[in-house]
Structure 1
């Protein structure tokens, strides 16, 4: 499995692999529009003796969220990312999103607030090596 953040599309009813793959690609496209975020379909090594060197796991995306800008990647707007995830959940009734953290913890997106989801994503975001720590931004009222 992945050692990063995994986002799974889970259906409340019967669904074909094709339908699940289509829903997942649609979500991936939306997530990849958020600067500083890289969503890719989760793949794993195929069983020995099969022709495919890798297999796609239907309904699962790995999510890399970058906290520091680099020449090729902007720092993620985690609040915007959270909104994309929550809106997807609202638009696709009968489908739930589940976040798997590197430590094995799984969170059903439907059960958490945007604020909590934002904090979870921040906790597993990927700092770029060799980049100085982020400068805290001033919040209104400080």
Structure 2
């Protein structure tokens, strides 16, 4: 698994926390239908002295993209993932998505094309050195 991408639902107008949570959950459902993608609500450690061990961040999803298939996970179709994100953006006028890359760079999704978004996701999803990969079968093996 790569470092997670963060997707945040942001409103261009005033929106309640409940509305942002609902929008994020709707997007999460769509993303989790894609092979090789795992979206979950972002959590943070709860404040000291509270009973909960984690707190949910309103309207924010952690997105893991698997480019190397494992026994339980398929490789992600990154082009389709970018398409789902852009279509969500188009359907939800007045809301926009902000993506935070593992290095902390923030990108407003509506400012990039679907092709650029796919290339960006692919660039941060590529297996790095030290990451387990699927061995290629070579003739004679």
What aligned pairs does 1:53-72 form with structure 2 within 5 A after superposition? 53-72=53-72
Separation in 1, partners of 2:62, 2:124: 12
Gaps of 5+ in 2: 137-141
Secondary structure class of the residue paired with 2:125: coil
Equivalent residues, number: 133
What aligned pairs does 1:17-96 form with structure 2 within 5 A after superposition? 17-96=17-96
Gaps of 5+ in 1: 135-142
Match of 2:125 in 1: 125
- Is the 1:35–1:77 contact (alpha carbons within 8 Å) kept by the matching residues of 2? yes
Secondary structure class of the residue paired with 1:7: strand
Secondary structure class of the residue paired with 1:124: helix
- Is the 2:4–2:65 contact (alpha carbons within 8 Å) kept by the matching residues of 1? no
Separation in 2, partners of 1:115, 1:5: 17
Secondary structure class of the residue paired with 2:90: helix
Considering only aligned residues, what root-mean-square deviation do their CA atoms show, in Å?
Answer: 1.8
TM-score by length of 1: 0.88
Structure 1's 39 and 111: CA in aligned 2 closer, same or farther, altered over 3 A?
same
Separation in 2, partners of 1:107, 1:84: 17
Separation in 1, partners of 2:91, 2:84: 11
- Is the 2:69–2:134 contact (alpha carbons within 8 Å) kept by the matching residues of 1? no
Q: List, as ranges, runs of 4+ consecutive aligned residues in structure 1 with deviation greater than 2 Å.
A: 126-130
- Is the 2:96–2:108 contact (alpha carbons within 8 Å) kept by the matching residues of 1? yes
- Is the 1:65–1:126 contact (alpha carbons within 8 Å) kept by the matching residues of 2? no
Shift of 1:132: 3.6
